[in-house]
Amino acid sequence: MKGIRGLRVALKMLVVCAVGVGALVTTNSIALFVNEEVLGSEEAKPKHAALIAPIGDVAEAMEGEVSLDKASHSLSAQTGITKERVAAWITEQGNAGKDYYLDGLTFEEVNIDEDIEPEVLARIDGGVHLGDFFIFDKQADGSYQLIFEQPWQVESWSMERFRAEGMNPIFNIVTRTGGTGIDVIESHLMYMDDAGVWTEAWKGTLKDRSAFQDKYHLVIGSYQFNDDHGELFYWQTEMDASLEDDQQEEYQQEGDPKTSMTVFTLQQGKFIEKK
């Protein structure tokens, strides 16, 4: 949960209150406050009925950043998580020497372990089948620590409705890999365990397509939870075909598709195939 930020100004005979950033003006000094805590600055001063304060100190106390617009010769402060901050974390904490494609960076604040503060899930779309995935966890001192990284092209993430006693929410991380003539989409069911480790409970194929010359092979999969018994049902259909044109857009099915079903049970935080 993010802290409430606002304005509090207290003058000698007039008080206007709201939780957040503010100032207390006395005869000889001005004290700045951020969420009711004093910000130690001796540079704040009133000028022409306005309060002049160092933007860097205020932005830092509000966990924000100051940026310079060279065109307008102006400074601006932005609070909260920004793309620039997440990019800096990746550069500082990610794999040493890796040249990340930060133009393809997107992120979202998501509470994956049901504590007070949300984590930051970030992904980089580096092109066809290329990408990176990161999770940052907020520390006691307010900084963010990289706790998980994989060279995955992540298509999406979402919380599953399945809940098990003693487990944090399960998230479905959908990834995409492949190469020339190959396209593979997989589902990774993952959660944060009690030790703070991002853990994979199950992985399954949603789509696996391969095409070579005039041969075409396709696997389509899906899953569903059986909440009553802590089970996961997985269906998979496999089909072979021959391609009918050079563009590999039309195919002729060969033989009958084969469908199978596998049941997995939750055991010690992982879905294990039921025998």
Q: Strand 130-138: give its sheet, edge to edge.
A: 105-110, 119-127, 130-138, 144-150
- pTM for this one? 0.72
CB atoms within 10 A of CB 169: 18
pLDDT of residue 71: 76
In this prediction, residues 61-77 reach a mean pLDDT of 63
Q: Two tokens at 245?
A: 């044109």
pLDDT band at residue 128, thresholds of 50, 70 and 90? Answer: confident
CB atoms within 10 A of CB 203: 13
Q: Two tokens at 38?
A: 């004093």
What are the extents of the domains in the chain? 7-78, 83-273
Helices and strands (DSSP H and E) totals, the chain: 2, 21
Q: pLDDT (tens digit, 9 = 90+) per residue, 242-253?
A: 877 555 566 777
pLDDT of residue 45: 61
